[in-house]
Amino acid sequence: MGQIDNDWLPALSGEFKKPYYKDLFYFVQDEYKKNKVYPPKEDIFNAFHYTPLSKVKVVIIGQDPYHNYNQAHGLCFSVPKSQPEIPPSLKNIYKEIEEEYGFRPPNHGCLTKWAEEGVLMLNAVLTVRAHNANSHAGKGWEQFTDACIKAVNDIDRPVVYMLWGGPARKKAAMLNNPKHLILEAPHPSPLSAYRGFFGCNHFKLANEFLEKNGLEPIDWRID
């Protein structure tokens, strides 16, 4: 199922020993054997590989991976450069950034650059059966990713959370670190972006907060 081998490991190693994680591990292994599952096994933990815990500046929380061919690669909202279509929610994210900064949207949807700059792009559920959204919900991933969010909450330095849509906004209840900034808005999906995601100004607000606290801002431009 892939491994975490950077500074996330001490923070999460206790989870790997819990009964729920053992059940989750065998469930996911079985799913990969019997069904088409996304992302590829080696990409499940990409959010952690690209963004070590010590580098986290911003957290974006998604729901579960894209469930069509060659879309999911372990970062929420992101697709590989080889994917010709930019997903609709990501198009709206690009629109909001263009409105805030004037940056021209890229012609692809790969967000690894953000991850490498300190944006943890974490789905609440890290695997999905092909063409079956939320098919791996309720199997244990939520408990694991909540432990990840708690590990970030415990960081003794400023961090920004961007919570978009109902499921992500519920995570605010576990965030109680006074050094951190919580930003909430509707989901960037075409169904809800016009209800307050557009105009939320989250990308500028995040950078203003980071700079105010002596941290390097995120360069939201994608080449």
DSSP one-letter string for 23-41: HHHHHHHHHHHHS-EES-G
156 is catalytic: no
Quick check: pTM over 0.75? Answer: yes
Beta-ladder partners of 185:
164
Looking at residue 185, what is its pLDDT?
Answer: 98
Share of the chain above pLDDT 90, in %: 97
pLDDT in tens, 146-176: 999 999 999 999 999 999 999 999 999 999 9
pLDDT of residue 1: 66
Question: Coil, strand or helix: which one is 68?
Answer: coil
Q: Phi, psi at residue 23, to the nearest 5°? A: -60, -45
Question: Out of 5, 7, 43, 64, which one is annotated catalytic?
Answer: 64
CA angle in degrees (0–180, nearest 5) for 47-12-217? 40
Residue 3 has pLDDT above 90, yes or no: no
The pLDDT value given to residue 43: 97
Assess whether the previous peptide bond of 105 is cis (omega < 30° from 0): no
Q: Does the structure show a pLDDT above 90 at 2?
A: no
Say what the pLDDT of residue 223 is: 87
Question: Cis bond leading into 39, ω under 30°?
Answer: yes
